[in-house]
Copies of this chain bind each other. A is one copy, B any other.
Amino acid sequence: MTERPDQSPLTSPRSERVRKAAALTGRSARRKQGRFRVEGPQAVRSLLTHRADLALEVFLTVRARADHPELASLAAEAGAPLREVDEQILRAMVRDSGDGGGDQGGADASPGAAVGGALVSPQGAIALATFSAEDPAAALGAVRALPADGPVTVVVLHEVRDPGNVGTMIRTADAAGADLVLLTRTSADPYSPKAVRASVGSLFHLPVLTGAEIDALLPALAAADVTAAATSGYADSDLFDTALPARLAWILGNEAHGLDEATLAAAPLTVRIPLAGHAESLNVHTAATVCLFETLRRRRLEA
């Protein structure tokens, strides 16, 4: 699916190559082209440092190249061709036609898309990279490939629909030392520009696999001696008072509806996050943060 990079200089913002890069805002174009866009010097550096195998091509303005000299050497080490381009070319590469292209969240498609309320620009640096297609078998394989002994933390995003949440939760999973992130089919695409930006490089720091099927995943986790855990406001056990298994998979659900009944019933461990004020619930990323950092805290106590 991936094409050999065109060697000719990029001089027009209306060129086919620029338009194809811009189209990667949409999921269907990413699937068709077999690649996604990585924006900003920090994310490009993470890609080249941690997943050089995925890098196809790097685009830098003269200024970004001068400001981040390590990017050129990392690109060379990765064997990814480096293109010096004008700022206007780079901006055109992130400017989608605006059809949303199948992404959740049309706000992603505007020029200098709004993220967290602020206008973002690629800050002079873009990379194009390959990704693994959705693959239920690969997700199961990653579970089987976990170390057979010792503590393990897995994060499963099941029907998490907002790409910003998906990216942020990958970042938080990384920060809390998770070993693996799995996304079920109905979750947002971690390769959407909004998710990639929100992950701030963490997408390249740990294995992230898409296309998992929850019905097959739960037995696979059990077979790997990993306890699937879910949060529920109705659970009897309080997170802070409950022993957490050394091998744990946090299953996190939809923003609006949480986990479906069947998945909740199938999870061997359900815990309640204590709420002290009048808030009726937490958002899914907040819940993930509480669970993952409590897991990290326990791991350190037990180490």
A246, B299: Cα distance in complex, Å: 25
Are B50 and A278 closer than 8 Å at their CB atoms?
Answer: yes
Are B277 and A174 closer than 8 Å at their CB atoms?
Answer: yes
The reply to whether the CB of A289 lies closer than 8 angstroms to some CB of chain B is yes
The reply to whether the CB of A186 lies closer than 8 angstroms to some CB of chain B is no
Instruction: Name the B residues within 8 Å of A161 (CB-CB).
Output: 117-118
Given contacts A285-B286, A286-B168, contact A117 B279 (CB under 8 A): no
The bracket for how many chain A residues form the interface is 35 or more
* A276 partner, pick from B104, B118, B273, B296, beta carbons under 8 A: B296
The reply to whether the CB of A163 lies closer than 8 angstroms to some CB of chain B is yes
- Taking CB atoms and an 8 Å cut-off, the chain A residues in 102-150 that contact chain B are 104-108, 114, 116-118
- Of the stretches A61-69, A175-183, A216-224, A260-268, the one at the interface is A175-183
* A290 partner, pick from B165, B240, B293, beta carbons under 8 A: B293
Q: List 26 A-B contacts (CB under 8 A).
A: A46-B278, A104-B117, A105-B117, A116-B162, A118-B162, A171-B286, A172-B279, A174-B277, A174-B279, A175-B279, A175-B281, A175-B286, A176-B276, A177-B276, A200-B279, A200-B281, A200-B283, A201-B280, A202-B277, A202-B278, A205-B279, A285-B285, A285-B286, A289-B289, A290-B290, A293-B293
